[in-house]
């Protein structure tokens, strides 16, 4: 749910009052029952905004509860030398080089050496179990500030405080991605309440978590990494053979039984992509226990993948799709390797890297991808093919660039989330754009105990969705393949945007279906003078694939809006801006969606997934493509309205939105304002509606009407989370609750 604070939908409010009354009575009968932990998964850019409502509900820490926001080292580190690194991988490597157990031990045993350690981590370790945090709500900045005052590392402090916190807010990957979940969320109780916020694309997150892509450059890097490992093993055998012998004995006695996978927190690396129930709980096969044997084993795997890439780039090559079982059969025949050792490849590699005391894991990422590919391939090759191996001679997004790649693509989004439904008793999936809401249980394979879509509670018609289907010359506008390059469509889109910017004050955000189409339109608008007319009305800023450039553009866009000059931001559906940047108040008085943002239907990975959904879940190709496009549209236009006093225009510029099968998939809170007078408009008709809406919204706010849709003090006290509360089992072991709302 976008914002439950202040949501006063009458029926919902009444149910909330009844629920809290029942919970209070239930808790009075069970005074010693421990309150369940709340876990909230959010998009990467949504964690900070998530903490605001939690802080409002908890008060200034008086509830005795601890709420934490978790993130990566790059976002939490306070060591100046580490933070001087350029990217996330370099930050992780610099941190490990100062906090790894062998580095800390060497510095302790040789005080006069030049071994550099982190003073914050050292102080944190010296404090030991006494490193407790007072109750309160801590976002990333507050956690860093509190750690700095104590001289403790915020990153490891948060990792330790997980077991004591009542509320945890972190990225989806902390729950869904097996690599991270095994390190972070494995200690969470089954009674915890798990909330996936902004979960409109949760199926895509699940698929990405179990997919691996390897290109030619990565395989070359893996070969170099194997050479480095071989040299390091030779060196260690000559100087400290006992270390390798100890590892061998641990592997003989059982990798998991010896706790080799449960390394100290400062030595922990990413686990395998294999889901916890599918991990083999037995000893590593004998033919990869010795370090030198395992290195030769991985070299054979890398060489085989190189040969497969060469076969698709030759004169008789081309795009190839295989089942995991067929690919694995060719691999074992071509390399004489057994299947079982492949299942242990990733865990065995991590064990070897720890034994060799490698701090800079970034240098071995490509080899880790190969090991992860091998482990997933061998683990999920049998039964129903829920994965596909796609080999493309040109997997690059850059036109004309040759980049052959092999991709192990997960086709079933329910695979990654199934352990969560099974483990936790209460799972809530919520977003403002879960439409159509009945398709998510099919994609994720669960039975929702509650499934509800709510209207927006408002005191005035604060949004105006409009469907522009024709230009001023009555020519239909659309981005369908056969129409998008038509000079009339390009001209009408440009004229439409210029006229909108002339009548709409402050900020306007325009979304396009892809980067290439946006670049094409901007280029043609520049050649025909449309761009010059646009810059007379507002300053123009453009989203690019470079994060730094886009961040600077956004900052200057906001400055232009603040100064009164006004600005238009040209962005892309499925881009960074559409997923997490809010354009509230004067930063977004209108959002224009040029076209219907369908996925690239010629993608071989997408084709494989569509075939899987049709065969196994009876989800038709057209239904899924429409569903996916409309949820992206909803996500884009939803950027414009963020509070009850806010207002904005939502303009859908494509005649296909007039069709019932398209617009019916929009969220309920948008459809409630989409009347017949908003459909099938020409540019001239639409401009009239825009002016009428802006005149209406420009009037002073009726404070009495506003108060009628807000909670009273008594109602707020009734729903105060400080009151004793219990929760019932909402998922039954394999279910959950879904809510779609925009307050």
pLDDT tens digits, 248-267: 888 877 654 445 445 566 65
Q: Which residues, 6 or more positions from 497, have their beta carbon under 8 angstroms from its beta carbon?
A: 508, 510, 530, 534, 568, 592
Residues pairing with 467 in the sheet:
652
**CATH number at 34-209:** 3.40.50.300
Phi then psi dihedrals of residue 404, to 5 deg: -60, 140
pLDDT at 397 (0 to 100): 62
Residues 172, 43 contacting (CB under 8 angstroms): yes
Q: Which two tokens stand for residue 625?
A: 């493509």
Asked if domains 34-209 and 463-702 share a fold, the reply is yes
pLDDT at 31 (0 to 100): 41
Residues 173, 41 contacting (CB under 8 angstroms): no
Q: Which two tokens stand for residue 521?
A: 């339109």
Measured distance CA(409)–CA(385) in Å, rounded: 11
> Which segments of 151-199 does DSSP mark as H helices, in order?
154-161, 173-176, 178-184
Residue with tokens 């990413």: 270
**CATH number at 463-702:** 3.40.50.300
Q: Which residues, 6 or more positions from 671, have their beta carbon under 8 angstroms from its beta carbon?
A: 663, 664
Mean pLDDT over 132-148 rounds to 89
Residues 725, 675 contacting (CB under 8 angstroms): no
Measured distance CA(168)–CA(155) in Å, rounded: 14
Measured distance CA(273)–CA(409) in Å, rounded: 12
Confidence of residue 34 (pLDDT cuts 50, 70, 90): low
Mean pLDDT over 324-339 rounds to 94
Mean pLDDT of the chain: 84
Evaluate if residue 456 carries a pLDDT over 90.
no
Q: What is the DSSP string of 111-140?
A: TTS-----HHHHHHHHHGGG----SEEE-H
What SS3 string covers 557-592?
A: HHHHHHHCCCEEEEEECCCHHHHHCCCCHHHCCEEE
pLDDT at 517 (0 to 100): 95
What is the Cα 516 distance to its own chain's centre?
Answer: 23
pLDDT at 62 (0 to 100): 45
Measured distance CA(600)–CA(39) in Å, rounded: 35
pLDDT at 300 (0 to 100): 97
pLDDT at 27 (0 to 100): 43
SS3 state at 373: helix
pLDDT at 375 (0 to 100): 94
Tell how strand 507-512 and strand 567-572 pair up.
parallel
Mean pLDDT over 572-592 rounds to 91
Confidence of residue 51 (pLDDT cuts 50, 70, 90): low
Q: Specify the range with the lowest mean pLDDT, choosing from 43-47, 354-358, 556-560.
A: 43-47
pLDDT at 111 (0 to 100): 82
Task: Tell me which DSSP letter residue 540 carries.
Answer: E
pLDDT at 715 (0 to 100): 77
What count of Cα atoms within 13 Å lies in the side-chain half-sphere of residue 501?
28
Cβ burial, residue 623 (10 Å; 0-12/13-18/19+) = middle
Measured distance CA(36)–CA(191) in Å, rounded: 6
Measured distance CA(683)–CA(499) in Å, rounded: 9
SS3 state at 232: helix
Confidence of residue 4 (pLDDT cuts 50, 70, 90): very low
Evaluate if residue 543 carries a pLDDT over 90.
yes
Domain boundaries, the chain: 34-209, 212-413, 463-702
Task: Tell me which DSSP letter residue 139 carries.
Answer: -
pLDDT at 398 (0 to 100): 59
Measured distance CA(173)–CA(206) in Å, rounded: 9
Residues 626, 619 contacting (CB under 8 angstroms): no
State the chain's maximal CA–CA distance in angstroms. Answer: 83
pLDDT at 659 (0 to 100): 94
What count of Cα atoms within 13 Å lies in the side-chain half-sphere of residue 514?
11
Confidence of residue 132 (pLDDT cuts 50, 70, 90): confident
Mean pLDDT over 501-529 rounds to 96
Q: What is the value of pTM for the model shown?
A: 0.85
């Amino acid at each position: 749910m976008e914002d439950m604070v202040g949501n006063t939908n009458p029926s919902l409010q009444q149910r909330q009052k009844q629920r809290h009354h029942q919970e209070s009575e239930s808790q009075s009968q069970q005074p010693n029952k421990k309150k369940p932990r709340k876990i909230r998964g959010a998009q990467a850019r949504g964690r900070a905004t998530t903490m605001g409502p939690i802080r409002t509900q908890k008060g200034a820490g008086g509830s005795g509860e601890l709420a934490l926001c978790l993130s990566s080292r790059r976002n939490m580190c306070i060591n100046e030398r580490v933070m001087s690194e350029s990217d996330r991988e370099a930050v992780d490597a610099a941190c490990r080089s100062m906090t790894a157990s062998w580095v800390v031990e060497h510095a302790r045993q040789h005080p006069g050496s030049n071994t550099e350690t982190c003073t914050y981590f050292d102080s944190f370790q010296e404090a030991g179990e006494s490193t407790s945090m007072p109750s309160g709500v801590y976002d990333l900045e507050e956690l860093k500030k509190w750690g700095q005052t104590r001289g403790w590392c915020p990153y490891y402090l948060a990792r330790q405080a997980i077991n004591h916190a009542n509320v945890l807010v972190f990225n989806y990957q902390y729950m869904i991605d097996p690599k991270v979940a095994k390190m972070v969320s494995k200690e969470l109780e089954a009674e915890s309440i798990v909330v996936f916020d902004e979960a409109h694309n949760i199926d895509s997150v699940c698929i990405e978590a179990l997919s691996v892509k390897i290109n030619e450059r990565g395989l070359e890097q893996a070969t170099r990494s194997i050479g480095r490992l071989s040299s390091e093993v030779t060196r260690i055998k000559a100087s400290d053979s006992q270390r390798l012998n100890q590892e061998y004995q641990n592997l003989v006695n059982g990798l998991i039984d010896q706790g080799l996978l449960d390394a100290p927190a400062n030595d922990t690396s990413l686990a395998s992509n294999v889901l916890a129930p599918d991990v083999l709980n037995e000893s590593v096969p004998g033919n990869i226990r010795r370090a030198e044997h395992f290195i030769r084993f991985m070299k054979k795997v890398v060489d085989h993948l190189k040969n497969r890439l060469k076969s698709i780039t030759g004169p008789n090559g081309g795009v190839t799709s295989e089942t995991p079982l067929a690919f694995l059969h060719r691999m074992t025949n071509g390399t004489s390797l057994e299947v079982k050792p492949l299942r242990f490849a990733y865990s065995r590699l991590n064990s070897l890297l720890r034994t060799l005391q490698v701090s800079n894991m970034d240098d071995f990422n490509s080899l880790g991808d190969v090991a992860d590919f091998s482990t997933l391939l061998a683990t999920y090759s049998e039964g129903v093919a829920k994965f596909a191996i796609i080999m493309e001679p040109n997997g690059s997004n850059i036109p004309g660039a040759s980049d052959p790649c092999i991709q192990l693509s997960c086709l079933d989004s329910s695979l990654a989330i199934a352990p969560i439904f099974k483990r936790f008793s209460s799972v809530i999936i919520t977003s403002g754009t879960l439409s159509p809401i009945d398709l998510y249980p099919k994609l994720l394979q669960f039975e929702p105990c509650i499934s509800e879509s709510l209207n927006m509670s408002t005191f005035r018609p604060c949004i105006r969705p409009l469907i522009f289907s024709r230009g001023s010359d009555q020519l239909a506008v659309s981005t369908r393949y056969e129409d998008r390059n038509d000079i009339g469509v390009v001209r009408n889109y440009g004229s439409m945007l210029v006229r909108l910017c002339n009548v709409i004050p402050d900020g306007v955000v325009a979304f396009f279906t892809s980067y290439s189409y946006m670049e094409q339109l901007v280029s043609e608008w520049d050649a025909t003078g449309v761009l010059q007319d646009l810059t007379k009305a507002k300053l123009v800023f453009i989203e690019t694939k470079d994060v730094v450039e886009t961040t600077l553009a956004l900052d200057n866009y906001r400055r232009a809006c603040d100064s009164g000059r006004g600005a238009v931001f040209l962005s892309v559906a499925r881009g960074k801006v559409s997923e997490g940047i809010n354009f509230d108040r004067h930063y977004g008085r209108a959002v224009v969606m040029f076209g219907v943002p369908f996925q690239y239907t010629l993608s071989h990975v997408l084709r494989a997934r569509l075939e899987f959904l049709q065969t196994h879940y009876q989800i038709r190709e057209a239904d899924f493509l429409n569903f996916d496009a409309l949820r992206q549209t909803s996500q884009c236009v939803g950027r414009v309205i963020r509070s009850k006093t806010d207002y904005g225009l939502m303009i859908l510029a494509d005649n296909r939105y007039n069709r019932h099968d398209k617009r019916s998939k929009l969220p309920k809170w948008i459809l409630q304002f989409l009347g017949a007078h908003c459909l099938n408009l020409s540019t001239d008709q639409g401009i009239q509606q825009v002016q009428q809406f802006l005149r209406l919204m420009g009037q002073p706010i009726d404070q009495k009407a506003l108060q009628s849709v807000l909670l009273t003090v008594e109602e707020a006290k009734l729903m105060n989370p400080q009151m004793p509360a219990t929760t019932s089992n909402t998922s039954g072991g394999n279910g959950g609750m879904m809510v779609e709302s925009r307050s």
